[in-house]
Amino acid sequence: MKKKFAYLFTAMALASVHVEFGFAQADRPPYKSPVPFYRFSTTLAEQQAELENNELTKRFQASRKKQANDPYRPFYHFVSPESTLNDPNGLSYWQGNWHLFYQAYPPEDPRQHWGHAISPDLVHWKDLPYAIYPSPERAVFSGSVYVEDDRAIAMYHGTEAGNMVAVSSDPLLLNWEKVTGNAVIPLRGKAGFPLPYSVFDPSIWKHGDVYYSLSAGRAPKGPGNRQVPVGYLFRSKDLANWEYMHEFVENDRFTLIGDDYACPYFWPIGDRYIMPFFSHMSGGQYLLGDYDTVRHKFDVTSAGKFNFGPATPSGVHAPSATPDGKGGVIVLFNINAGKPTGEWNQIMSLPRRLTLIGKDEIGQEPAGDLESLRHQHVSVQPMTLPANKEVVLNNVKGNAMELLMEIDPQDAPVLELNVLRSAGKEEFTRIVFMKNRGMGPGRDYRNGQIAPLRTDGQGSPSSPPASNPPARQSLISLETASASLHPDVMPRGPETAFFTMDGGETLQLRVFIDRSVVEVFVNGKQCLAARIYPSRKDAVGVSLLSKGKEAQLKSLDAWQMKNIYE
């Protein structure tokens, strides 16, 4: 996926270094990269020994040390060791480690290479040398990894070439070989005529003894020939020879005209299937449905979003996803910058575990051993939150924290949690809960009947009350307009998500604050994330506010979070 226009200054700056060092030949075929490249041994002990003295890993360590004092560089979210990053790619689990690949931009060659890091717990990441280098493709774009018993298969888009396949089988996935040495699904047909499909951001899976690949795209098949998202399916028995089959996604009435299915991943979740993807127009989202393995079609029945507004500035970007082996799916994203921060800008989100919690409903919770980062615990005693009076929690402060809380809103229509709050509230990041203020279920006109709606703020006042009607959704919002006084910060519009609360269900928040990012998990059902850049050193406070009526704080625990790179 292409770098966003807002951050071209980084690539331009790096490009000037690239030419100055005499590497301009990398801009012409065969696009050979000047970044140091290594072949590693094939046993774990040998690889670990070789990494200790590897030029790139030493360079990464020095770069991390150099940038450690940057006030906006996160403590426990993954950040590339040098330069910047873009899409995460090929998240997978292999021989005891989680593997994260990502679009990296080596300083001596700012074209995309696949960066590489491993973790035993999805939290503590160790940098490894670049995994996949460009050539014959101009740049290594996005793709996925499918893990078999004896090897890992990466399928990705190689710019100016097509979709590529590379395989690796060593303990740390350090050595990759490109199948055929060329694109296995070329950008252009041999006869020179237009293809009936597009070739971009592929994912790969296997059914029976056949490999399948979904390629991102969109086509002028909407009203007035406007562009709508389309996914193209291919199959192969040997990874080298691929046959185009047909359009894969059926009954998608959820995405918008102008969306596309970039960075698609297709995995089972519970007894159904999920397709997380990225739209260059409206951001990260997913489709949920069933996999017809006879016709090889994806029948969509539901959908949802991962960000609630455009991806830039400061928002969630592209996903990378993989099954967790327990019926769920692990997904993470890159999060775009909202302020220039030198040679780096983007970061990775915390990994999330997606589960099926209803036929057409997905749950989202933080994944990985985040509890291992907790220290300096503070507990706040239960209390009544008085109406319209902000309660500042004087003993809860920090800019690298986890907050875990439960609040009974009772009849309060609005609850606020302010984090990264300066003493005089010159700066603060606002998390807002609004009970039963989202969309309702609509009306049922079947058999000439209009289903009655509640009169308790969840339906039309003119509708007669119902004994057990569907609930209206509640709202959770993350607002960053007051998060910083810096003149060069680009805040987002409010990120506002919908979720349902069962009768009597309390509000449960798990909030992660990490210097320049805030992530909010709510009731195991939704997650919001955005970048923030407080300018004041005292912007570390926390406060609560119940509007209209009082509410009950049932519990609040706070921890400082350790730096995963120390």
Is residue 4 scored above 80 in pLDDT?
A: no
**Residue ranges per structural domain of the chain:** 5-366, 374-438+473-561, 440-471
Nearest to 404 by CA among 505, 282, 523: 523
Task: Provide the pLDDT for residue 448.
Answer: 65
326 or 566: which leads in pLDDT: 326
Does residue 452 contact residue 464 with C-beta atoms inside 8 Å? yes
Instruction: Encode pLDDT of 161-191 as tens digits.
Output: 999 999 999 999 999 999 999 999 999 887 7
Same CATH topology for 5-366 and 374-438+473-561: the answer is no
* CATH code given to domain 374-438+473-561: 2.60.120.560
pLDDT value at 41 more than 70: yes
Mean pLDDT across 232-253:
98
Note whether 550 and 388 are within 8 A (CB).
Answer: no
What class does CATH assign to 5-366? mainly beta
The C-alpha atoms of residue 56 and residue 347 are separated, in whole angstroms, by: 20
Mean pLDDT, residues 230-245 taken together? 98
pTM here is 0.92
- Does residue 180 sit in helix, strand or coil? helix
Residues 6+ apart with CB under 8 A from 313: 6, 336, 337, 338, 490, 491, 492, 531
For 404-462, the pLDDT digits (tens) are 999 999 999 999 999 999 999 999 999 999 999 888 888 777 766 655 554 444 444 44
Mean pLDDT of the chain: 91
Q: Can you tell me the mean pLDDT for 307-317?
A: 94
Give the pLDDT of residue 504. 87
Q: Residue 127: beta bridge partners?
A: 117
Q: Residue 491 in contact with residue 314, Cβ under 8 Å?
A: yes
Q: ∠275-278-281 over CA atoms, to 5°?
A: 135
Tell whether the model's pLDDT for residue 464 goes beyond 50: no
pLDDT of residue 531: 98
What is the secondary structure of 77-125 as a DSSP string?
A: S---SSS-EEEEEEEEEETTEEEEEEEE--TT--S-EEEEEEESSSSS-
